[in-house]
Structure 1
Amino acid sequence: MQIFDSHTHLNDDILLPDAKQYIEHARKLGVVKMAIVGSDRKLNRLAIELAHQYDNLYAIVGFHPESANEFDDAAAKELKAQLADPKVVAIGEIGLDYHQNVVKQKVQHHVFKRQIEMAKAAGLPISVHNRDAFEDTYDILKAADVSSIHGIIHSFNGDPEWAHKFLNLGMYVSFSGVASFKKTKEVHAAAKETPLDRILVETDAPYLAPEPYRGKQNEPGYTLYTVEAIARYRDTTPDVIADATYQNTLRIFGIEES
């Protein structure tokens, strides 16, 4: 079994000091590749450094909606240069977060749209953060016509109707540990209905640890438990889900295996 953690934060201060050990533990659980996701200038740089340090790691760089106030001309210039790095496979995580409204929604919209345009110019997919902002996230993606670059709705936490709406825009849907929680029935249904060639898995570590580790610190290796949960909902084997999500992640990130 080979699993690709399509969205993890091994560059986070909590995980970074023991990155090597987490990578080794992940491999023992079948998680052989992972995308390290940035969200501001510091974390973007660390994502790229890790990706160059380990062959099986890749970087996603961009400005999280809660870091949108930091996205000035200098940050945009640096991000544009980073997109040319061969280990950078997407722009992210970008999007909208209305949960606490740390940054004004108008600013979030502007930075989200600007980074989508940068992704188009670079020919890279996008990794999209959406928290309590389904309608506006959908409207911005639809207006931007992201079908030419595709993208990922990361850590999807909606119902099948929303999953299909994003899929119809050409997006992929990625499921985190939330899909393993007992009471997230709508997410279970979405994981069951998402086409096998458009589904991804992730940890979003160190956050959102899946069952049986819910409430504890997450790590990339725990992608295995999300794979197992999705396999149960779809009445299939973990091997089938692991293989499909692995191939899907390679495809959307444009990774060619030797």
Structure 2
Amino acid sequence: MSVLELIDSHCHLDAPEFDADRADVVARARAAGVHAQVIPAIRAADWPALRRLCADTPGLYPAYGLHPVYLADHRDEDHARLRDFLAAGDAVAVGECGLDYFIESLDVGTQRRHFRAQLELAREFSLPLIVHARRAVEEVIHTVREIGGLRGVVHSYGGSEEQAAQLWKLGFCLGIGGPLSYARALRLRRVVAQMPLQQLLLESDAPDQPLAAERGQRNEPASVAAVLDLVAELRPEPREEIAAATRDNARRLFNLAPA
């Protein structure tokens, strides 16, 4: 099977899990055909190191944001700092931001405040969003529609077919990764089979969300090639066409230069 040019639209390569062998992880990704990776931040303290990593490693592109799961680390003053980071011009997106209603201990009002602030900054800088929406897809749709003038991707999509269609109308792609490989992912498979190909992005979410066969292990961006194969099993288009479309979708959304 031929190696195709792919883009990992969501990979936390700056995570400490990769400190010991980050260069080897990148090399394995390149060998698997993953020629570019978007690296979304999760907290303000990580932004400077993420910027350095992407500046020093060809094919890595930074996004800056405040992840809802790390709510305890965020401060309202981070919003002004985020504006400064975005003004520097290297960011390809705002994120990872969003809402997480799966973890009940996370304060809803604080999540909403940080999320809306990041949506407004994305609109101000005309940047796409990388959105985390766990048990919160409906509210994400409502908030995006309310603020308006936004585009982006809902990563690790877990909503319904109807919600996927609403997001497409709002200018949002869907990030698809390792969860597609799990036997219980029947609704996700229906979404992937029916969604417009132009809405589809491939992602690893490494070091998280490994394929079912590698559950419990560290995930790597090279796994995007296996995600492509899973998608190709569900759709009528040839594998090569899906690879090219998802690559072009990522380039278009994040304004990435051709490899």
Pairwise same-fold verdict (TM > 0.5): yes
The correspondence for 2:132, drawn from 129, 132, 135, is 129
Which residue of 2 is the match for residue 55 of structure 1? 58
Shift of 1:37: 1.3
Instruction: Find runs of 4+ consecutive structure 1 residues off by over 6 angstroms.
Output: none
The correspondence for 1:83, drawn from 82, 86, 92, is 86
Question: Which sections of structure 1, spanning at least 5 residues, go unmatched?
Answer: none
Distance change (3 Å), C-alpha of 1:85 and 1:21 = farther
Shift of 1:69: 4.5
Which residue of 1 is the match for residue 6 of structure 2? 3
SS at match of 2:27: helix
Aligned 8 A contact 2:12 2:206 in 1: yes
AA aligned opposite 2:60: L
Which residue of 1 is the match for residue 214 of structure 2? 213
Partner Cα distance (1:206, 1:27) in 2: 16
Which residue of 2 is the match for residue 118 of structure 1? 121
Aligned ranges for residues 1-258 of structure 1 at < 5 Å? 1-145=4-148, 148-257=149-258
Aligned 8 A contact 1:92 1:128 in 2: yes
Partner Cα distance (2:160, 2:76) in 1: 37
Distance change (3 Å), C-alpha of 1:203 and 1:186 = same
Partner Cα distance (2:192, 2:242) in 1: 11
SS at match of 1:10: coil
Partner Cα distance (2:237, 2:183) in 1: 19
TM-score normalised over the length of structure 1: 0.94
Partner Cα distance (1:85, 1:224) in 2: 33
AA aligned opposite 2:205: D
Aligned-CA RMSD value: 1.6
Partner Cα distance (1:102, 1:47) in 2: 28
Shift of 1:108: 0.5
SS at match of 2:99: strand
Shift of 1:73: 4.5
AA aligned opposite 1:141: V
Percent same amino acid at aligned positions? 28
Partner Cα distance (1:37, 1:250) in 2: 16
AA aligned opposite 1:166: L
Aligned 8 A contact 2:76 2:114 in 1: no
SS at match of 2:94: strand
Aligned 8 A contact 1:207 1:217 in 2: yes
CA deviations on 1:28-82 (whole Å, 9 max, x unpaired) are 1111100111110233223222110112100011001123444334322221121
Question: Which sections of structure 2, spanning at least 5 residues, go unmatched?
Answer: none
